[in-house]
Chain A
Amino acid sequence: DAMVIQNPRYQVTQFGKPVTLSCSQTLNHNVMYWYQQKSSQAPKLLFHYYDKDFNNEADTPDNFQSRRPNTSFCFLDIRSPGLGDAAMYLCALRDRVENIQYFGAGTRLSVL
């Protein structure tokens, strides 16, 4: 059974139109991550939550925001998507004790 559930799997949006990607978990792990992965590149960390504490990577554009209303859910908001934001967005989670990140299947975002 999937532990990290990302919805939708594919998202198409228009240039400048806000979009929200969703991630949920069934394990109650306290650390959640959002990565951006462009074609043929390594995943790049955007930010993470350690419980409710939000940690933004220094080079993450302000266009990217995140919300974590509870332990189970985490959202990635792109306020004004540009063509360069087309990518696979991966959510991951990690338990406090076990230092392993588990990834979801990802959401592929297209920007028209």
Chain B
Amino acid sequence: AQSVTQPDIHITVSEGASLELRCNYSYGATPYLFWYVQSPGQGLQLLLKYFSGDTLVQGIKGFEAEFKRSQSSFNLRIPSVHWSDAAEYFCAVGAKTGANNLFFGTGTRLTVIP
């Protein structure tokens, strides 16, 4: 069965700090992996994706994520948190073929202290 686990429900950090948001997945086939961000009252915006190739992927706003097959993980790293990064972050897994239905984790809410 497909599942995505984000073990950190809520994280609070100071502006300028670095941060890693954890994501573990269970998927029966080779997965496509995604990180989305959602600001309050808004839809989901794609941050970055992993399909194949280099396991370290770069996204918008300097975010990056590393795919580790042996650990079934796809953790998101924020090198230097800005106040505008405060939002909900969702990890998702999908199939390479077909309708590519996404399975989402329960999200990690990031609070940034000025």
Identity of the chain A residue whose Cβ is nearest the Cβ of B90 in the assembled complex? A42
CA distance A108 to B42 in the complex (A): 10
CA distance A99 to B100 in the complex (A): 7
Residues of A26-71 at the interface with B, using a CB-CB cut-off of 8 Å, are 31, 33, 40-45, 48, 50, 55
- Min CB–CB distance A13 → chain B (angstroms): 18
Residues of B62-106 at the interface with A, using a CB-CB cut-off of 8 Å, are 90, 94, 96, 99-102, 104-106
CA distance A4 to B107 in the complex (A): 22
A99 touches B90 (CB 8 A): no
Checking B44, B51, B96, B100 against A90 with a beta-carbon cut-off of 8 angstroms, the contacting residue is B44
- Fill in one digit per residue for B43-56: 1 if any A CB lies within 8 Å of its CB, else 0: 11110010100000
A-B contact count (CB 8 A): 54
Identity of the chain B residue whose Cβ is nearest the Cβ of A53 in the assembled complex? B99
CA distance A103 to B36 in the complex (A): 10
A48 touches B99 (CB 8 A): yes
Given known A42-B90, A42-B106, contact A103–B99 (CB-CB < 8 A)? no
Q: Does A106 contact B (CB under 8 A)?
A: yes
B42 touches A106 (CB 8 A): yes
Given known A99-B32, A99-B51, A100-B49, contact A106–B43 (CB-CB < 8 A)? yes
Q: Which residues of B line the A interface, CB within 8 A? A: 32, 34, 36, 41-46, 49, 51, 90, 94, 96, 99-102, 104-107, 109
Q: Which residues of A line the B interface, CB within 8 A? A: 4, 6, 31, 33, 40-45, 48, 50, 55, 90, 92, 94, 99-106, 108
If A4-B43, A90-B43, A99-B32 are given as contacts, then 13 extra A-B residue pairs at C-beta distance below 8 Å, sorted by A number, are A41-B106, A42-B90, A42-B106, A48-B101, A50-B99, A55-B99, A90-B44, A92-B44, A99-B94, A100-B46, A102-B46, A103-B44, A108-B41
